[in-house]
Copies of this chain bind each other. A is one copy, B any other.
């Protein structure tokens, strides 16, 4: 993402907890800051991506301590609504503007500048950040107040997790019924259900291989959070609840770091060779 910004002519300063990770970007022309605060204090807009709510909170606090009034902080990680609200409050108290902008899309789309940003929070910041978002992604949606971006991402990933579980059950049924899994995939690819995800992952699923694009443990977490969101807003989601149980089983079986298509392993009664 930083590389794409630099290539588009933006002046980029980067920081990472593990300094070596900044090296490839330094070589590509980015400035490297010694601390998160240094990166923030010198920038109009700071983008952050962090792997846990705890890290997001810690970095958010540093940002609030260093941000110049009128500048913006855009967190593209996926955090829960409570965490986002806390960071937003701290940044606003320091005179800054906050936008949550979790992404749909994983490694490939990030490199290709094909991410989708699901933004919530400060609308003016969204408009200011838009040219940069357009460099890093192919679409950016402003969805409402803080929490709307995260909520939309959960709705998207709930559909994704259940669709994948559904394909897994179809493949397992085909195998047990003596039908060809490859033909099932081909037939689906010719009809109204045809989609890039089934096309991309179906072939390796048939081989029992699950090269990780989106880790199963993250899909499990998103289904869990979607179910919690459903509970909070009064929306039962029985099919997603059943799908989540399959991801739980795959997780318990040790597939947490495999691609989420490894949910197929939880569907098989006995692995079909």
Q: Using a CB–CB distance below 8 Å, which chain A residues touch chain B? A: 104-105, 116, 118, 138-139, 141, 143-144, 148, 151-152, 154-156, 158-160, 162-163, 165-167, 169-170, 172-180, 183-184, 186-188, 190-197, 200, 220, 224, 226, 228-231, 233-246, 248-249, 251-253, 267, 269
Contact = CB atoms under 8 A, between A and B. Distances in A.
A252 B235 contact: yes
Nearest to A192: B197
B158 A169 contact: yes
A240 B116 CA distance: 30
Contacts of A251: 231, 234
Nearest to A175: B235
Q: How many protomers of this protein does the assembly include?
A: 4
A143 B182 CA distance: 11
A248 B224 contact: no
A196 B196 contact: no
Given A116-B190, A184-B152, A230-B248, A173 B238 contact: no
